[in-house]
Amino acid sequence: MEPVVPLPLDPSTLGSLTASAKDYAVLSGLAYLTDDPGDNTDLVSFAPFALLPSPVPRALFDQARAVQQDFNLLVHRVSHDRAFLTRCLSSVVKVDHFTAALFHIYEQVQEEGVTQSICLGLHRSDYLFDTNNNAVIGTKLNGVTANRELQLKQTEINTIAAAGAGFGEKIASVHKHVLSLLGITNAYKHIPENRALDSQVDGFVAAWEQYGSQKAIIVFVVEEERCRNVFGQRLSEFTVMERHPSITVRRYSLKQIAEDAELKSDKTLFIHGSEVAVVYFRTGYSPDHYPTEKEWIARLKIERSRAIKCPCISYHLAGTKKVQQELAQPGVLEKFLEDPKAVSRVRATFVGQHTLEMGLEGDRTVQMAMRCPEDYVMKPQREGGGNNIYGEDIRTVINKLKGSEERTAYIIMDLICPTVVQNYLMRPGDRPKLQGSSCELGIFGVFMADGDQVLHNKQGGHCLRTNHSSTTAEGGITVGNAVMDSPYLV
């Protein structure tokens, strides 16, 4: 696709633009802790970002927003189907110790009886703009004519630690400023309103109110060490308290919760004398987040409590790659969504996903991936970027695992080939680099239900992350290889 202005920019324009944009970014809250070789945790820089917004087809953007409530409902229904979750994950838990430990907590609370029927979901559904054009051109989707060349294709839905709401919202004003410096005065027509942070905060407040205790607090579960992306978390935390001064948000690590939180006999959770209404996980989705038994004790303690969890363990499990692969099989969505239009909206965003279960079907996947590994991505049950396997590495890994049950820890997904656009990627301490980049659009979902009764189901704004296209397809701004961006609708 074509960039929003002809590139490259002349050096003097680029110089003054980048200086303004960096300062504007910091002033907007787009900040990161820098990697400091010493122990200084006070060093702050701007968070990596794209100098210009990236073009995004308006029809695909609308399509992504229009399907979010369906995804919210889908996650909820899937998470409440114990037989389905158990069946999907039965092979994975035999070989993947991390998923097994999560599943064990799930089973334990199911057996004890779930003490909190209210679930809060703050999800993010991620999409690439696919150039693999094998669908009928110009078909109508939800009344919107699909883009002639590109298709919206989901990479995954995140049900835990779906970061990026704060930065996603803030970067738009940096980009409007940059465009006005370039003399583009109608940017407001192209840069869509983004209430990602506010929508997320609406979710926290709604859950806190639903819990129904004026004195209770919201706990953000965070990493032990101050993490690079602390400011993204702080934006959410401070906005809750600003919007609703009677709510206190406190940050604790899993270790602190293991040591200091108390579960009363009625399953009320207390920490340092405060009752906990809502627990929001910004950690806990990777094996590294559980270095000792203590972190697992904390996770179980939270799960058994009356606090509203975001996410509860069943939402976490519903977001695993294996469950997403199963949902992509023919006939499965229909079990969870009664509206055929919702089913087609969701299915239209899927690419093929293939099982590696032991048996004929899994063997077929092995053969297919071995034949053309460059057409697939191999994914383990992990979150946070950097875990996927591509190309020739798929062959190597499958060769090692193909006859063993270990292969069932992974799924195989068709490779999406995202469109490439030029942009200047800005990273602290580095000159702006003009690079061919691909964008991943994240749409936030805010959902709350009490059992089967849906209390809140919203599409909650967006974020765009842009990545140098010659690196692997991996995004994940917090692992340092994608930058924040915003969509410029075309």
Given the rule CB under 6 A, which residues bind ligand ADP? 126, 155-156, 351, 377, 379, 382-385, 387-388, 413, 415-416, 440, 473-476
The full 3-state SS of the chain, as one line of letters, equals CCCCCCCCCCHHHHHHHHHHHHHHHHHHCCEEECCCCCCCCCCEEECCEECCCEEECHHHHHHHHHCHHHHHHHHHHHHCCHHHHHHHHCCHHHHCHHHHHHHHHHHHHHHHCCCCCEEEEEEEEEEEEECCCCCCCCCEECCEECCCCCEEEEEEEECCCCCCHHHHHHHHHHHHHHHHHCCCCCHHHHCCCCCHHHHHHHHHHHHHHHHCCCCCEEEEECCCCCCCCHHHHHHHHHHHHHHCCCCCEEEECHHHHHHHEEECCCCCEEECCEEEEEEEECCCCCHHHCCCHHHHHHHHHHHHCCCEEECCHHHHHHCCHHHHHHHCCCCCHHHHCCCHHHHHHHHCCCCCEECCCCCHHHHHHHHHHHHCHHHEEEEECCCCCCCCEECHHHHHHHHHHCCCHHHHHEEEEECCCECCEEEEEECCCCCCEEEEEEEEEEEEEEEEEECCEEEEEEEEEEEEEEEECCCCCCCCHHHCCEEEECEEEC
Of 239 and 419, CB closest to ligand ADP: 419
Q: CA 136, CA 378: separation in Å to the nearest integer?
A: 27
Q: How far is the CB of 140 from ligand ADP (least distance, A)?
A: 25
Of 126 and 202, CB closest to ligand ADP: 126
Lookup result for tokens 């979710």:
203
**Cβ atoms 349, 152 nearer than 8 A:** yes
Of 218 and 415, CB closest to ligand ADP: 415
Of 357 and 383, CB closest to ligand ADP: 383
Of 325 and 459, CB closest to ligand ADP: 325
Q: How far is the CB of 262 from ligand ADP (least distance, A)?
A: 33
Q: How far is the CB of 383 from ligand ADP (least distance, A)?
A: 4
Q: How far is the CB of 377 from ligand ADP (least distance, A)?
A: 4
Q: How far is the CB of 259 from ligand ADP (least distance, A)?
A: 29
Q: How far is the CB of 164 from ligand ADP (least distance, A)?
A: 11
Q: CA 7, CA 2: separation in Å to the nearest integer?
A: 9
Of 197 and 415, CB closest to ligand ADP: 415
Amino acid, res. 459? Q
Q: How far is the CB of 116 from ligand ADP (least distance, A)?
A: 26
The reply to whether omega before 311 is within 30° of 0 (cis) is yes
456 DSSP β-pair partners:
448
Q: How far is the CB of 321 from ligand ADP (least distance, A)?
A: 7
Of 85 and 351, CB closest to ligand ADP: 351
Q: How far is the CB of 163 from ligand ADP (least distance, A)?
A: 10
Which residue's CB comes closest to ligand ADP?
Answer: 475
Of 28 and 381, CB closest to ligand ADP: 381
- What is the distance in angstroms between the CA of the first residue and the CA of the last residue of the chain? 10
Reference 272, options 289, 251, 292; nearest CA is: 251
Of 304 and 379, CB closest to ligand ADP: 379
CB atoms within 10 A of CB 108: 13
Q: How far is the CB of 421 from ligand ADP (least distance, A)?
A: 15
Q: How far is the CB of 485 from ligand ADP (least distance, A)?
A: 13
Q: What does the CA dihedral 269, 277, 281, 65 come to, rounded to 10 degrees?
A: 160
Of 132 and 248, CB closest to ligand ADP: 132
The reply to whether omega before 380 is within 30° of 0 (cis) is no
Of 166 and 418, CB closest to ligand ADP: 418
Of 125 and 200, CB closest to ligand ADP: 125
Q: How far is the CB of 115 from ligand ADP (least distance, A)?
A: 29
Q: How far is the CB of 217 from ligand ADP (least distance, A)?
A: 29
Of 333 and 415, CB closest to ligand ADP: 415
